[in-house]
Amino acid sequence: MIKKVPKFQSSKYVWFDLNTSPKELRLDTLRCGQSFRWQSVQDHWVCTLGEQLYLLKESAHSVFYGVPEDEAKNSKLVKHMDQTLRDYFQLELLSLEKAYERWSRLDTNFKTKAIHFQGIRMLRQDPWENLICFICSSNNNITRISQMVHKLCIHFGSKIATLDDTDYYGFPTLASLAEEGTESKLRQLGFGYRAKYIAQTAQKIKKEHPEQQEAWVADLRKLSYEETKQTLITLPGVGPKVADCICLMSMDHAEAIPVDTHVWQIAARDYGFGNKQNKTLTTVLYNQIGDHFRTLFGEHSGWAHSVLFSAELKGFEKRLALDSIEHSIVETPDTLDRKKQRIK
């Protein structure tokens, strides 16, 4: 008996050009703590968006998306995928290259960091998915958050495609997470105290907005930044920081500045916000830090903040060190190699 699941071979893909450039978009964007769902498979990236599996890869000049060979002539599908990705990466919203230039003029610290982190855009994520994923993120590390989100999809989502013997699932619906038993199931899966938050948030929205459910979350896009943030905070497991993440990453509020432990560290170390040691991040301080970056960077300040944040991430600090060696002219090839070895 053969399973009737579409089986794709990575070699049998036709690659379409998203027609962008590294200064506008680099796929590092997929691993800098915005989405926890993209998987890095060999030289490309895989994730489901909506009901469709997306494969991405980048060259030195642009980004490409893969369409199964037997569907590549379905121009309606290709057009839909193209449109979905342009919206997801917000390619039409602003020129990142020009924004980087502006932020670099305004702030020398940004300029220093940005050289090593080109093409980091803000993704425009699905609001419901974004909400649940960032409830998972509280007091947690990116590795485990990614594993948890993956488990959410496997255990509560539906299978969308199989590629090279790996199954890919969509993000679970609100209804599926609002079901009885979700909390204990999530507890068993290692979600800890976030299990209750997820179950309660799903149940609360289902109960208060039975006709809309996920659409209710998406419709928050119609509200102002402050209204959206305050509404989100009423949900279990959503505080100021998580609410700001959602405002920035899926609610079109580019002025939202999530202040987490890293951003606080940056503010304290590079922007004169005193010493992080022996101090608590009060509501007032949280807002002061946000206001500082909003004033400093102006339009789309949340995007600039995200570049600084990326430079702070564990997985990226190595590259920053490597890059700074590469760019240094005084190094002889010999000492250059030795320094690289030391970093690895």
Partner DNA sequence: CGATTACCTGTGGT
Partner DNA sequence: AACCACAGGTAAT
Is residue 32 at the binding interface for DNA, with CB under 7 A as the rule? yes
Active site residue 241: yes
Q: Which residue among 222, 241, 276, 339 is the active-site one?
A: 241
Could you tell me the smallest distance in angstroms from the CB atom of residue 296 to DNA? 16
Shortest distance (Å) from residue 66 CB to DNA:
26
By CB under 7 A, which span of 46-54, 95-103, 229-237, 330-338 interacts with DNA?
229-237
Concatenating the DSSP letter of every residue in 82-117 gives: HHHHHHHTTTTT--HHHHHHHHHHH-HHHHHHHTTS
Contact positions with DNA (CB under 7 A) in 130-149:
137-145
Tell me: does residue 311 bind DNA (CB under 7 A): no
Binding-site member from 154, 296, 313, 325 for DNA (CB under 7 A): 313
**What does the DSSP 8-state code read for residue 251?**
S
Question: Is residue 302 within 8 Å of residue 248, measured between CB atoms?
Answer: yes
What distance lies between CA 259 and its chain's CA centroid?
Answer: 16
Q: How far is the CB of 265 from DNA (least distance, A)?
A: 8
For position 239 contacting DNA by CB under 7 A, the verdict is: yes
Residues in binding contact with DNA, number by CB under 7 A: 44
Residue 174 C-beta: closest distance to DNA, Å: 18
Q: How far is the CB of 94 from DNA (least distance, A)?
A: 19
For residue 340 the two structure tokens come to 């690289």
Q: Does 40 bind DNA (CB under 7 A)?
A: no
Residue 153 near DNA by CB under 7 A: no
The phi, psi pair for 4, rounded to 5°, reads: -95, 60
User: Does 183 contact DNA by CB under 7 A?
Assistant: no
Distance of CA 319 to the CA centre of its chain: 19
Q: What is the Cα–Cα distance from 191 to 151, expressed in whole angstroms?
A: 10
Q: Tokens 């968006």, residue?
A: 49
* Residue 260 engages DNA in binding (rule: CB under 7 A): yes
Task: Please identify, using beta-carbon distances, which residue of 26 and 194 lies nearer to DNA.
Answer: 194
Out of 7, 185, 187, 292, point to the residue binding DNA (CB under 7 A): 187
Cα 44 from Cα 139, distance rounded (Å): 30
- Catalytic positions are 241
